[in-house]
Structure 1
Amino acid sequence: MEIRPIIAMQMPPTPDQHRFYSSLLFELGAPHKAAASLAVLERLARDLLRRMAPSMLIVDEVHHLLAGTYREQRASLNLLKFLASDLRASMVLVGTRDAVIALQTDSQMVSCFTPFEVPRWRESEAFRQLLAAFERVLHLRRPSGLAQREIVQYVLAASSGLTGEVSRILNAAAELAIRSGDECINLQHLEHVAPTHVQSLATLATRAPAL
């Protein structure tokens, strides 16, 4: 069975072809001069991609396209279409709902890419399994018990059910646990690294009118 790599990168904060290729080359582990011309960076990236023959290219933060002018947006969309055709590999574009708006300005992009919204997590066995999986890869010296109901509910509320936020919160809590010498994540660590959103939820709850 042939094993082909998957490449993941982020769209630059503003749609810029030069920065896009530089970011792509960085993810490919290719040394290059950032000040090189766009043509040089493009040729180097295409050569490397053809040699690697990836099965998929994932581009995150596609909604950053909207941070540029109309001309910059068009140029970046054309770049994505060109790469998708040149690679002959699957391309996955990831972003907020604004990413859909950015893609809808190009009829070819609309026909080539089908929008799929990732549902937010809810309290469930699947979410507990996700937290348990995070606990296994964090490699703390002591067990954290992230699948406990109190921690599950806190992380769910603090993250708004978004996987990226779950990852950010748990990694920050793990770093705090290591610095403190506890070597396990507890509720106090979570409250320290992600207090604002949960506190606002509690405030809203106390202000809710009684039925």
Structure 2
Amino acid sequence: MDLLGERWLPPVHLRRFVSSMPSQLSALRGWIKRDPSHLSNLSELILSSVKDVQQDDVEIIGGLLCLRRLFIITSTDQTQRLLVIRADGFRCTVDFRLDCGSATQILFEPGALPRAVRVWFSLGVRVTKEDGNRGFDLGLQGNLFSLREFVSVYMYCGGARVGEAKEAEAAVRRALEAHPSHPRIYIQMRPHIAKGAHDDDLCEDEEEN
């Protein structure tokens, strides 16, 4: 996205955009805002690495009416601590992946992702606890009713206590197990909690996000 620059406009028939190198969503935000009609056919947006995802980015991308697949695989320098997936966005999205590492909690409004059947998202345990969400309520229970296949949660534990990480995992798992469609549940602890670790032990940060 940096190479394309702010002045780039996509072709009007663009259906799929894939970037496999570090990207800045500021550039993406520019060409979407300038003329969204150029993206009226975009159904797949895959960005392997972005520097920072802001709430504005989520809402702008969520407004793309034909978007069926969104993959933001890594956010390397995340600054926004809370991202909300609102009910009025991502109305056609079937595959939703947003991994913002350890610095952010992602919350789902009631009615969010109404057509998503596969969802990947991240949870920063320490940030979530520090910002007052002590019950780790992410809006999963009684929500995401089209979720049929699986949900995968990347749970970043660095800087949190082992007991807090286990508490977060249990809360997320309870909410997902109550889902009426019973999707497959995958929770990946990053870093992995060693067998025999005490609840008061500190989870160490991973070297890479």
TM-score of the superposed pair, with normalisation by structure 2? 0.31
Larger radius of gyration: 1
Structure with the higher fraction of residues in helix conformation: 1
TM-score of the superposed pair, with normalisation by structure 1? 0.30
